[in-house]
A and B are shown apart, each in its own frame.
Chain A
Amino acid sequence: MELDNANPTIVNPSELPSYRERRKIKDESRQKQGIRQLFMGKSSYAIDPFYLSDYSDTDSDDSNVEPIDEQEIYDLIAPITDPEHPFSLASLGVVKLEDVHLGSPTDPTKAAALSHVLVELTPTVTHCSLATVIGLCVRVRLDQALPPSFRVEVKIKSGTHNQSEEVNKQLADKERVAAALENAQLMGVLRNMMKTCLEP
């Protein structure tokens, strides 16, 4: 297969934004003699109970759960593998922390208040034919990992792709996304891309 972009720019993983430090400090203050102390200063893939955990469990008491922020959403999608390169979307610069936007819940006093997530993707090349698959994978990952009160919008960052409007409209179409999930072949591709999300 001919690659759309045979020579992508790769970002050094150590330069990627990570939640590890913040979480560790929080965890430390909570439980002084945690085993996680041992991992201080190690690579960004240190074991972290919060890292990539699925938030689909809505039965838990909301009052004890910290609100989900942009970094956490970024952490859910950053490790997704590009469909044509053995690199993560974050290291290819397709997913960037500053392009994850979180709208505040419409009414925080209501348990079922909706949150709006907007993720803008930067394809590696403006004609990337896999933009739709990448976008779909990001949307599916977030739909599955975030609580049902999150309305996820995935867009191609304006000016970075010559068919961004068409791609955006497809990614916003709930019915098309639902039908894509029932397509075994496409789901196989997405599962492969998301494998790296489930590895510690």
Chain B
Amino acid sequence: MTDAPIDSSIRIQHIADFKPPALSRAWASIPNPNDIPLIATATSDKTVRVYSLKNFTLHSKLEKAHERSVRSVAWQPRIKGNESVMSIATGSFDATMGIWHRREQFGEHGDSRQDETGGDEVAEVEISGFGQSKPHKRMDNSDDDSDESSPEDWEYSIVLEGHDSEIKSVAYSPSGQYLASCSRDKSIWIWEEIGEEGEDEFETVAVLQEHDADVKCVTWRKDDGNGEVLASGSYDDTIRLWRGDDEGEWSSVAVLEGHEGTVWSLQWEPEVSRKAFMQSEGTDNENEYNKPAQRLLSSSADHSIRVWSKAPTPPPPNKPSYFSNAGIPSTMRPGPSMETWVCSATLPTVHTLPVYSISWSPISGRVCSTSSDGRIVVYEEQTKGRTSVGGEIERAWVVIGTIESAHGPYEINHITWCKRFDSGKRRPDEELIITTGDDGAVRAWSLEEVTQNEKTSASDVPSS
């Protein structure tokens, strides 16, 4: 493997598989961002499966719309006043994006109707301790058809066309105002929902074409007072940041170069880790202007995971001369809003094949990653303190847990942190890791803290 520092202080424990699984490759599973205990899985069988996080069983299905693989799925963040409708955007290899709605009443704690009345139809999965889930009753009598006539079905409301080839990734902005899609056609489209609520009218506000090759992933950063920022990763090995100006013109404000392979996945730093960073720097105050910009995490086909930070402006003098405006024609100068970003850290290299997916926990600040090599790796950023008086505080990323062959011999395409909702939950803020693989399986993993004297191999491979 590698000589990466591994401090196995946690054990990654398989607790359940979502049932029934897809029979072919599943691409990604996205938890609902509005505290509803659902997770949506995009699969190569042209559907999206929505599973319950309470009992790891199928809740509903989005189907019969796309002609090819659904590669990507995004939940719309909840918009005030429209809380009885869930909305999902799907991006497909058929080059279209779909918008779906489902009317459903949710209780205070996010219980869906199915969970409340499911007595006859749904056998609750029993969770004993950290045990395995038992087979779901629905598996035997395959009454999925009854769901299809339900008035609470997912309604395929509108198709958004424009891309020339496969859509690789779709993402709602945190405010719900914008929707971004990216494709093998090298472009990123930004859509804005206009008109009255429920009218489903979308307008293309930007088509961004500065990447030299396929755009693999897009992700939005929360508005920090200057608008929402979009990050994109590409087959051209670069990452770009995009921002809209006061006139609504969108442009690239930074190019992040360093990866030596396709950039597969991007994640913005969550608030929890930003706060920890500021505390360690002694700059903990509420003044937004003094806060460092959120960092960006990226994973690549070059097997590495990198952390990017915005360089303070003006750039330090040891930067190459092209960052200074002297001696180059004014038209070549970066615009006033151009930002300089640097790779400020590289996570320990554990993966031996392309790293397809990373996730940065908004609760613990930990990072997890997965790869074609079938591993799950969990990292933590630890503060080492100052090594010299008045020097910079040193921080280091440490591997705190790994597991091999998490989907048997299959590749794993996606990983995400996810709030725990099932009956085995032990703490209010407990998190699970959810992985999605080429075998069609979606697996849930819990983290067990390992005591000092049982620190052995932190692996417990589920038999499949």
The answer to whether B69 and A114 touch across the interface, beta carbons within 8 angstroms, is: no
What's the dominant secondary structure at chain B's contact region? loop
Q: Does B68 contact A (CB under 8 A)?
A: yes
What are the residues of chain B within 8 A of A179 when measuring CB–CB? 68-69, 93, 165-166, 184
The answer to whether A114 and B373 touch across the interface, beta carbons within 8 angstroms, is: yes
Bound-state CA distance A182–B374 (Å) is: 24
What are the residues of chain B within 8 A of A182 when measuring CB–CB? 68-69, 93
Q: Does B458 contact A (CB under 8 A)?
A: no
What are the residues of chain B within 8 A of A149 when measuring CB–CB? 409
Bound-state CA distance A173–B438 (Å) is: 15
How many A-B pairs with Cβ below 8 Å?
Answer: 54
The answer to whether A147 and B93 touch across the interface, beta carbons within 8 angstroms, is: no
The answer to whether A176 and B184 touch across the interface, beta carbons within 8 angstroms, is: yes
The answer to whether A174 and B404 touch across the interface, beta carbons within 8 angstroms, is: no
Q: Does B411 contact A (CB under 8 A)?
A: yes
Closest to B373 in A: A114
The answer to whether B214 and A176 touch across the interface, beta carbons within 8 angstroms, is: yes
The answer to whether A174 and B184 touch across the interface, beta carbons within 8 angstroms, is: no
The answer to whether B214 and A151 touch across the interface, beta carbons within 8 angstroms, is: no
Tell me the residues in window 146-185 of chain A with beta carbons closer than 8 Å to chain B beta carbons. Answer: 147-149, 151, 169, 172-176, 178-179, 182
The answer to whether A174 and B372 touch across the interface, beta carbons within 8 angstroms, is: yes
Tell me the residues in window 100-122 of chain A with beta carbons closer than 8 Å to chain B beta carbons. Answer: 106, 110-112, 114
Q: Does B75 contact A (CB under 8 A)?
A: no
Bound-state CA distance A149–B166 (Å) is: 27
Q: Does B57 contact A (CB under 8 A)?
A: no
What are the residues of chain B within 8 A of A148 when measuring CB–CB? 408-410, 438-439
Bound-state CA distance A97–B32 (Å) is: 51
What are the residues of chain A within 8 A of B301 when measuring CB–CB? 172-173
Q: Given A148-B438, A172-B301, A173-B262, do A112 and B44 touch, yes or no (CB 8 Å)?
A: no
What are the residues of chain A within 8 A of B461 when measuring CB–CB? 112
Bound-state CA distance A172–B311 (Å) is: 33
Tell me the residues in window 101-160 of chain B with beta carbons closer than 8 Å to chain A beta carbons. Answer: none
What are the residues of chain A within 8 A of B439 when measuring CB–CB? 148
**Interface band, chain B:** 20 to 34
What are the residues of chain A within 8 A of B405 when measuring CB–CB? 110, 112
Contact pattern, A 66-101, Cβ under 8 Å of B = 1, otherwise 0 = 000000000000000000000000000000000000
Most buried by A among B25, B262, B373: B262
Tell me the residues in window 411-464 of chain B with beta carbons closer than 8 Å to chain A beta carbons. Answer: 411, 438-439, 461
Closest to A153 in B: B353
Contact pattern, A 23-38, Cβ under 8 Å of B = 1, otherwise 0 = 0000000000000000
What are the residues of chain B within 8 A of A111 when measuring CB–CB? 408
Instruction: Tell me the smallest distance from the CB of A109 to a CB of chain B, in Å.
Output: 12
Q: Given A174-B372, A179-B166, do A147 and B44 touch, yes or no (CB 8 Å)?
A: no
Q: Given A148-B409, A175-B168, do A114 and B184 touch, yes or no (CB 8 Å)?
A: no
Instruction: Tell me the smallest distance from the CB of A36 to a CB of chain B, in Å.
Output: 32
Bound-state CA distance A77–B75 (Å) is: 43
What are the residues of chain A within 8 A of B372 when measuring CB–CB? 151, 174
Instruction: Tell me the smallest distance from the CB of B67 to a CB of chain A, in Å.
Output: 9
Instruction: Tell me the smallest distance from the CB of A85 to a CB of chain B, in Å.
Output: 30
Instruction: Tell me the smallest distance from the CB of A188 to a CB of chain B, in Å.
Output: 16
Closest to A115 in B: B409
What are the residues of chain A within 8 A of B69 when measuring CB–CB? 178-179, 182
Q: Does B216 contact A (CB under 8 A)?
A: yes
Instruction: Tell me the smallest distance from the CB of B375 to a CB of chain A, in Å.
Output: 10
Bound-state CA distance A159–B235 (Å) is: 23
The answer to whether B235 and A110 touch across the interface, beta carbons within 8 angstroms, is: no
Q: Given A112-B409, A178-B44, A182-B69, do A151 and B353 touch, yes or no (CB 8 Å)?
A: yes
Instruction: Tell me the smallest distance from the CB of A126 to a CB of chain B, in Å.
Output: 23
Closest to A58 in B: B409
Instruction: Tell me the smallest distance from the CB of B464 to a CB of chain A, in Å.
Output: 9
Tell me the residues in window 45-77 of chain A with beta carbons closer than 8 Å to chain B beta carbons. Answer: 58
What are the residues of chain B within 8 A of A175 when measuring CB–CB? 71, 166, 168, 216
What are the residues of chain B within 8 A of A172 when measuring CB–CB? 301
Instruction: Tell me the smallest distance from the CB of A199 to a CB of chain B, in Å.
Output: 27
What are the residues of chain B within 8 A of A110 when measuring CB–CB? 404-405
What are the residues of chain A within 8 A of B356 when measuring CB–CB? 174
Query: CB < 8 Å: which of B25, B216, B235, B409 contacts A178?
Result: B25
Most buried by B among A114, A174, A175: A175
Most buried by A among B68, B353, B405: B405
Bound-state CA distance A147–B461 (Å) is: 19
Tell me the residues in window 29-72 of chain B with beta carbons closer than 8 Å to chain A beta carbons. Answer: 44, 68-69, 71
Bound-state CA distance A169–B166 (Å) is: 18
The answer to whether A173 and B235 touch across the interface, beta carbons within 8 angstroms, is: yes
Bound-state CA distance A110–B406 (Å) is: 12
Contact pattern, B 368-403, Cβ under 8 Å of A = 1, otherwise 0 = 000011100000000000000000000000000000
Query: Please, could you name 19 A-B residue pairs with CB atoms under 8 Å apart, sorted by A?
Result: A106-B352, A110-B405, A112-B404, A112-B405, A112-B461, A148-B438, A149-B409, A151-B372, A169-B235, A173-B301, A174-B372, A175-B71, A175-B166, A176-B184, A176-B214, A179-B69, A179-B93, A179-B166, A182-B93
Please name the 3 residue pairs, one residue from A and one from B, whose CB atoms are nearest each other, closest first. Answer: A149-B409, A112-B405, A148-B409
5 further interface pairs, Cβ-Cβ under 8 Å (given A112-B405, A169-B262, A173-B235): A151-B353, A169-B235, A174-B356, A179-B69, A179-B165
